[in-house]
Structure 1
Amino acid sequence: MERRSLERSGDVVEVLAPASWPNARVEAWVDWAGGDTDIPAAIFRFAEELVQAGQKRDLFAGVGARGRFRRELGAALVAGRIALRRVALPGLHTVAAAETSERLARLRAEHRGRQAAVEAAQALAQRLQGVVDAVHRCHGDPDACADPQRNPSLARAAEAARAAGASDAAILDVLSLARAGETRLVATPPALAEVQPLAAGLDPSQSPALRTQALAAWETGKVTTLFDLRAEDALAEPVGVVGAVNLMAFEMGEAFQGEEFDSAVGVLALALAAACQQGVAALGLAGLADWLAAQGLAYDSEAGRRSAATLYARAAAAARKACPDLPGGLTIFDDPELTLLLGGASAAAEPWDGPVTFAETADGRIIRVISEAALLGLQALGADLDAARWRLLGHGTLADAPGVDHAALTARGFTDHEIAAVESVLPYCGQLSDAFRAEVVGAGFLSDVLGAPPEDLEDPRFDALRIMGFTEADIAAAETYALGVSRLDDQDLSVDGQRVFLTADDLGPAPYLDMLAALQPHLDRPPVADFTLPWDATLDDVQTLLLQAGERGVAAARLHRAEPTAYHALDLPRPAEAPPRAERPAAATPPPPVEERIVERFVERERERRKLPDRRKGYIQKASVGGHKVYLHTGEYDDGELGEIFIDMHKEGAAFRSLMNNFAIAVSIGLQYGVPLDEFVDAFVFTRFEPAGPVTGNDSVRSATSILDYVFRELGVSYLGRQDLANADPDELNADGLGRGKAEEQALQPGEPLPASRFISKGFSRGTTPDNLVVLSLADHRAARSAPAQAADVCPECGDIAVVRKGASLICETCGARAGKVDDGAA
């Protein structure tokens, strides 16, 4: 026993547990004990509870028997020889033969409807949460933030929620909740009842019935097919408690500890009888495939099936001897939690997982090791252990590997630093490509040196070895050398021509069915052959497997498909354009008038960065927000579109200035990749933080709630014409939109022309602006437009309302035409 720190989901606890147990097994026992971190004490308390329950049922013949049972049960649990736990597994409900087709069709419909309801509810909850987020991301007037007409982000979120099926009333309710302060909508999937599994009899020779059951099993995974109707009554009983004996806890071959095995089975039978409060108990033998491999017996051999049948017959006799009234009895079942309690040994009697397993180091790292069963089996066959180790675990290095070695990596730009990083993680990798991921060698190295696209680095299927130009053969050879092959299938590791160390993938379903058929006569409860097919298994695969199960004498079979991979995506072709319609022959009647129809075609293009010209134009705006000076620099493309910004602060802390500078760089990169400026404006106006307050030095923006609010108000006014963001007097705006600085204190003379250098950078134009280019002041023109009607009239020559009085004459300021003399008498 040892004490260790165990990190759980909520906290870190100190646990007393056997030193040989890995953390996963220890955590399973802590859960079994209801959170008690003293596992031995919890086990012996549980044993005392079973003693009290067994005494009420007269399971013990005296005081000595009770004490002996308590000691033996506690010792067996602590040693990992047995494990048991209470469960609530309903029995199978068998449908009548006449109702099979109808009930299976209803089962499929219920399963499909439940799945659709859950997925739709999840999608709708996600969209409604987006509505709440859009309200809370907005900083400003609460009424404006909760109004889709005034908050563009909220409008888009509400439209997405409506497209997902939300009613307008539901969206309004969510808006009210957001305004009330709700930030997180906790949405639980609909409380739909689980689709209850069914059991149905089947004669494999009847093709229509076989197809009907195969369809239901393929789609729902909730169908148990009965090939022997005599198993119906036994499988209809619910299971209340399960337990198993770990076969690997006893010696193998001629040194098999038969008496200890019988004692463990008897103690477990008594414990199951005492713990079973309702239903029946299921007693199993865990680790059968490992037990056979440790003795050098092939799982698919006649000798292997004979040894297994003898072992199960002995276990059945020991259980009946210890507890003749045990409800249920010896059976074959699959319980993942019980498997974890036993350290990975399953009571399902399925084929071997393979000679390689995983172990936990002292620092919590998971490494690949050869399993105990494989080591014992290799010794039993007299095999070379060193050669088997190199084959299974590899050499753990790429130094002399074929195909991908250190020299090949160096030729492709790897330095000693990257090679050392790859070598350090090889013992923990399942495949060679895992050692070349971005988190190992660095994303910058993969992008800058190897040329990998940055967006591909986030893909879990990204393989840097193929980017480097290594072939499939090179990668496979290097992976075999460095990591091994995780299987032993050499011909010299065989008995009577049958290879011992074949796995379930090598064997296929037939040996598993044969093993169940061989063990079935010694079981108190008929076994159910349980298969997990790949997600992409077809209906034909299911029908073939059902036929095999029926032909090999198994009482029942249950099939389901594995879950699809998380990154699975449906690759759909782009919709083809409709072919042109054939021209119709000319009709006798005149055709109807042609109406204009607007057709929009959206073409999705890959985002590319649009580079700014090396010499670019823009402007610098100096202002003060709440007493803090801000310099806004802009850079423009040749067409005048904004492409970059810089934000400089005066006398601010280094951290704040750096954050603002890097924020401006991030916005600039977004603009150059095509993010519309109005998206940034909508996102950052009305943000509220210090410094904030009155704005001086800017003739468009006179107050701001933050630096970002000021910057994006200014950009919205200057580049988007968003006068709704300006909070200054519109009459104070000059034509160019630039601040006058000290010129605001020196009023310009009315009508005085301004030099072009006031608006065009002499440095940018390199002095090529003509000397005679001037910009006329619009002050007099604006005054003329606002003058009384008798002081300005329509020019008869050009039609502009620009006729003003010049001395005794009326002159058009637009074309210079004389419109006549002033009639002072009329005035």
Structure 2
Amino acid sequence: MSNPRRLSRNGVTPLDDFAFQSRQADNPDPDAIGAEAEVQLLTPEGWDTRTIAALVALCGAQPGEQLHAGHVLSELTESLADGDVVEHDELLASLLHREAAPVPALWRGESLPASHGHATIGAEGLTEALHDLNAAEMGQAAANVGARVLAERLEAVALACVNCDGADDECFDPRRNRALARAVRAARRDGAPDPMIERAIARARQGLITPEQGLFATPPAADLPDVQLGGAFFDAVESDSALADGQSARQVMTRLAEAVWTHGKPALHFKDPELSVSPAIVLNLARFIEGQTLDEDGLAYAAHLWGTVAQRQNGALVIAGLGAALTALSLAYDSEAARERAQHVLTILRNECPAPVSLERPDALAAGFVGAESVGVHPPAALDAPGGRQFAQCVNAALSGLSKQEQTIARRHALGAGALAGHSAPWITQLEAAGVDQAGFARIDAALSDGVPLRFAINRWSLGAEVARRCGLSPEHFDEAGPRLLEKLGVDPLEVVAAERYVHGAGRLDDCDTLSPDLRAVFADPAPEARLAMAEACEEALESSASLELALPGSSSIEDLSALITSSARRGLTGLSIRREGDALYDLLNTIEYDTGDSVRRSVIAEERVVERVVEKYVERAAERRKLPDRRKGYIQKSTVGGHKVYLHTGEFEDGELGEIFIDMHKEGAAFRSLMNNFAIAISIGLQYGVPLEEYVDAYLFTRFEPAGDVGGNDSIKHASSILDYIFRELAVSYLGREDLAQTDAHPYDPGGLGNGVEKEKLVREADPASLISKGFSRGQLPDNVVMLGSRSKPDTSDSPVVGTGFEFDPKPASGGSHAGGASVERLEEPAVNYHGDPCPECGHFTVIENAGLLGCDACGWAGKV
């Protein structure tokens, strides 16, 4: 080289040519919190956030560490330079200008992997290999789904055991633990093997809830080598001939295209594959565009400088930014001029670089450090720059010949205004008249600036219920409108689309009327055939593979993909990889997930499907709230839990099912009381929307927190592990007939107090119906032929209201005697039990009986002296 220095000066360190400023970057450790979660560093002015983030990751910065970018890069060039001062200075200056960057292994001082070849298979035997690929892919998906379902089921079995507060022989026995029985049935229904269910219960005895190790071990991915197909194969496909193994060439081609269309593999080769040389340096071509002119001398100098480093490391020089450079030069990608310029640039690189030149996809961190806006032979991926509503540098360079006003119009067309401000539409005036003030529009604009779509930025929180009322929208319609709120307010859908385009832009420039047709062609999205043509031109200049990767839209068919494979082979390409995008499928699935949730309810969703002239109409109805009667029945239960008063109020539907609860407590702080009140409201809303009471009972039974302990004032429950445990025990006994959760009829050797359930209904001793039915609710209209039925007898000494009692009406009024209807019915009476009054020291229940100077617990069987 005639001039040994290009960016540096003799006797002056390159660091002196840059002004440094203090910056901070997010800590690469996502678990770090606080002030130490950020990395403090000094960087040259003009470095963007993408470059800074890449530097932090490449140098392995630790939480709270303070870095000087110049010193970090100087140490890196010390390890890359061969002891030559000029080479060191030029490498450092080039790094500071972000022209190139080593791959992460060289930042860590590691050696690059050795060159290696590609294992390939031919057309013969390809059918069996594709079958193995499909089987492995489906097997992995099935294993992942099955592992998650199995883990949930086995964990539910274990939790049903450990959340039980009974004895071990009950908690781990599905015949006596109803929650465990339900979990076992669900596990078996979903295919869990019985031995694994048994082991889950046995592990729960040891306090182990998590499933066994190895559950999430999935089958290994299919190790399918690349496929090499020569011209003879495609000739056989066109002539519908048979291959050497007897398979139809067309059938093999169809299976291959289907596999690539489905899985995005295998990779295809049409010539003998080259040795794969590990990437060492990433060079950004766009950095050598000044104005709209390519600095060929600077590019040649950098290619030789960094190519020498790559050769020393036994690696390749990876070229990035080719498509961005063509855009910056205002060359349409699908044009002969662009292909000729690409060949010219690559010829310079190949002649000047002593190391192999590659167009494969670069390392993401190295590409982020140099600010690469395109990779390989592809055009730029986006018009905007990361982190702001600004054009990418290559787009700004292409538009530099326009006036400031034309550039502003183009930017507004592609990227949008980012806010509603400045958009004139009748519906905006209507919102202002309805009461949306500047603060309301500020909330909307704040959401829009974060990229939220207009349909979701205008919602009940940004507008307010009062605005909707003034616009004639009822609260029910307000909730159901969701992202269609503007349409519900009477806004034409075309006006909504126009507003969204104003706010978020069109995302493209090839339809911008401000630009000339030639300039619009620069930003047109090239077709797959145009990319094949560019790859062909690049391979001719490099005399090596262009590493072409095609991403087809989701609407592409298998036939389209097959035609591209054939076209690539006929063009003489070395090879290519193809994948099909999801056609926005993932966004669609997320939309469906959101639209069918509580945020967006639809009263009726109907669709029709015609199969063999049979029309089937499927109607999906969202959950509707069941209204409670204005005058409703229920009961109030006063109790104490651990010395804390609890008032439980219930409200019932006409059929007697539970529809609402209220929880009042005293001696608690205002925050706790408010939480309990709102918790009761949430439960009530769930009940009215159809959530079974059984689900709430299973969820909140056996929860443990203070206050807890002995229960007073309740005739069925004597001990609770929390307020919620008590409340849902009470509701389960009263409304579900869950006598197994009552604690007064427990077996003497049942320390858990779970009881044995109800064996049969028994007539209890006669009670005055007026004491059980609200006189105010019935307004004095109480029949005189009521026969009281109950599940068990109650001690006469209890002063608590009897809950969960059923009523039967005799068709004939009572005519006298001791029973109704004239039938001889014997009352079943039990002798009253006089308990000692002190709790049992073993189980804590107030079921201690004194007999002949000895004490015995009727719940757990404990015995002792007075």
Q: Is the TM-score greater than 0.5?
A: yes
The within-5 A match list for 1:663-678 is 663-678=679-694
1:371 corresponds in structure 2 to 392
Specify the alignment match of 2:576 in structure 1: 557
Counterpart contact for 1:370–1:392, Cα < 8 Å: no
Q: Which residue of 2 aligns with 1:641?
A: 657
Pick from 260, 264, 267 the counterpart of residue 305 of structure 2.
Answer: 267
Answer yes or no: is 1:309 the counterpart of 2:343. Answer: yes
Larger Rg: 1
User: What do the CA deviations read for 1:16-42 (whole angstroms, capped 9, x no partner)?
Assistant: 244434434333332222346634434
Residues 299-353 of structure 1, C-alpha deviations (whole Å, 9 max, x = no match): 222222111211111111110xxx3xx3x33444454444323224333121233
Which residue is equivalent to 1:162?
188
- Which residue identity lines up with residue 695 of structure 1 in the other structure? V
How do 1:82-481 and structure 2 match up within 5 A? 82-85=100-103, 86=105, 91-135=117-161, 138=164, 141=167, 144-185=170-211, 188-190=216-218, 192-193=220-221, 195-203=223-231, 204-205=234-235, 206-207=237-238, 208=250, 209-227=252-270, 229=271, 232-234=272-274, 237-252=275-290, 255-276=293-314, 281-319=315-353, 323=354, 326=355, 328-354=356-382, 356-360=383-387, 367-380=388-401, 384-401=406-423, 403=425, 406-410=428-432, 414-429=436-451, 431-436=453-458, 454=479, 462=483, 464-481=485-502
Inter-partner Cα distance in structure 2 for 1:329 and 1:541: 31
Q: What is the deviation of 1:270?
A: 1.6
Equivalent position to 1:533, from 535, 547, 552 = 552
Matching residue of 1:501? 522
Which amino acid in 2 is paired with 1:296?
S
Pair 1:181–1:649, CA change in 2 (3 A): same
- The answer to whether structure 1 residue 6 and structure 2 residue 26 are counterparts is yes
What is the letter of the counterpart of residue 3 of structure 1? R
Residue 760 of structure 1 corresponds to 773
The answer to whether the 8 A contact 2:549-2:578 is kept is: yes
User: Deviation at 1:111?
Assistant: 3.3
Once residues 345 and 573 of structure 1 are traced to their aligned partners in structure 2, the CA distance between those partners, rounded to angstroms, is 44
Native 8 Å contact 1:404 1:475 kept in 2? no
Q: Report if aligned partners of 2:281, 2:306 keep a CA contact under 8 Å in 1.
A: yes
Check the 8 A contact 2:785/2:820 in 1, yes or no: no
What residue in structure 1 maps to residue 504 of structure 2?
483
Q: 1:272 to 1:141 in 2, by over 3 A?
A: farther
Q: In 2, distance between residues paired with 1:146 and 1:413?
A: 62
- 1:654 to partner: Cα distance: 2.0
Deviation at 1:717, TM superposition (A): 2.4
Question: Is the contact made by 2:101 and 2:369 (CA closer than 8 Å) also made in structure 1?
Answer: yes
Percent of pairs with identical residues: 35
> Cα deviation per residue 1:553-578 (whole Å; 9 max; x = unaligned)?
43212111235516537999999999
Q: CA, structure 1 residues 133+282, in 2 after alignment: closer, same or farther (shift >3 Å)? A: farther
Q: Is the alpha carbon distance of 1:451 and 1:91 closer, same or farther for their aligned partners in structure 2, counting shifts above 3 Å? A: farther
Aligned residues: 711
Identify if the C-alpha distance between structure 1 residues 476 and 692 changes in structure 2 by more than 3 Å, giving closer, same or farther.
closer
- Structure 1's 478 and 662: CA in aligned 2 closer, same or farther, altered over 3 A? closer
- Name the CA shift for 1:98/1:314 in 2 (closer, same or farther; >3 Å): same
Q: Give yes or no for contact 1:33–1:43 (8 Å, CA) kept in 2.
A: no
Map of 1:542 onto structure 2: 561
Give yes or no for contact 1:294–1:380 (8 Å, CA) kept in 2: no
Change (3 A) 1:311 1:110: same
What 5-or-longer segments of structure 2 have no aligned partner? 1-19, 106-111, 239-249, 594-604, 748-763, 796-809, 811-815, 826-866
Greater Cα offset, 116-125 or 292-301: 116-125
On the 8 A contact 2:282/2:362 being kept in 1, the answer is: no
| Counterparts in 2 of 1:674 and 1:124: CA distance versus 1, 3 Å | same
Amino acid at match of 1:13: E
Per-residue displacement from partner, 1:111-131 (whole Å, max 9, x unpaired)?
333343334334433443444
Name the residue aligned to 1:30. 56
**Alignment check: 8 A CA contact 1:92 1:199 kept:** no
568-577 or 544-553, which deviates more = 568-577
Instruction: Give the TM-score normalised by structure 1.
Output: 0.76
Q: Note the C-alpha offset of 1:762.
A: 2.6
- Name the structure 2 match of 1:73: 91
Q: Is the 8 A contact 2:460 2:478 kept in 1?
A: no
Residues 125, 453 of structure 1: alpha-carbon distance in 2 compared, 3 angstrom cutoff: farther
State the Cα distance separating 1:615 from its structure 2 match.
Answer: 1.0
- State whether residues 412 and 505 of structure 2, in contact with CA within 8 Å, keep that contact through their aligned partners in structure 1: yes
Change (3 A) 1:487 1:404: farther
SS, match of residue 694 in structure 1: strand
Per the TM alignment, residue 782 of structure 1 is displaced from its structure 2 partner at its CA by 11
Question: C-alpha distance in 1, partners of 2:337/2:431?
Answer: 50
* Cα drift, residue 520 of structure 1: 1.3
- Aligned counterparts of 1:817 and 1:479: Cα–Cα separation in 2: 79
The offset of 1:420, in angstroms, is 2.1
Question: Residue 690 of structure 1: CA displacement?
Answer: 2.6
Contact 2:323 2:374 in 1 (8 A): no
Normalised to the residue count of structure 2, the TM-score between the two structures is 0.72
Counterpart residue identity of residue 722, structure 1: R
Contact 1:681 1:712 (C-alpha < 8 Å) held by counterparts: yes
Aligned runs of 1:588-667 on 2, under 5 Å? 606-667=622-683
Separation in 2, partners of 1:129, 1:434: 38
* Alignment-mate amino acid for residue 308 of structure 2: L
The amino acid of 1:373's aligned partner reads C
**What SS does structure 1 have at the residue aligned with 2:395?**
helix
Q: Deviations over 1:231-290 (max 9, x none)?
A: x241xx2332242221222233675333322221112212212233xxxx3323321222
For the residue of structure 2 that corresponds to 1:392, the secondary structure is helix
> Which digits, 9 at most, give the CA deviation of each residue in 1:74-130, with x for residues without a partner?
332232100231476964322134333443343333333334333433443344344
Preserved contact between residue 628 and residue 649 of structure 1 (Cα < 8 Å): yes
Q: Are the aligned partners of 1:6 and 1:23 in contact in 2 as well (CA < 8 Å)?
A: no
CA contact (8 A) 1:394 1:483 kept: yes
Q: Secondary structure at the match of 2:549?
A: strand
1:531-562: per-residue Cα shift (whole Å, max 9, x none)? 11234532122113223323444321211123
| CA distance 1:699–1:270, shift in 2 (3 Å) | same
Distance 1:292 1:637, change over 3 A: same
Question: Which residue in the other structure is 1:801 paired with?
Answer: none
Q: 1:754 to 1:560 in 2, by over 3 A?
A: closer
Structure 1 unaligned spans of 5+: 56-62, 361-366, 581-601, 732-750, 784-797, 799-805, 820-827
What is the deviation of 1:400? Answer: 4.8
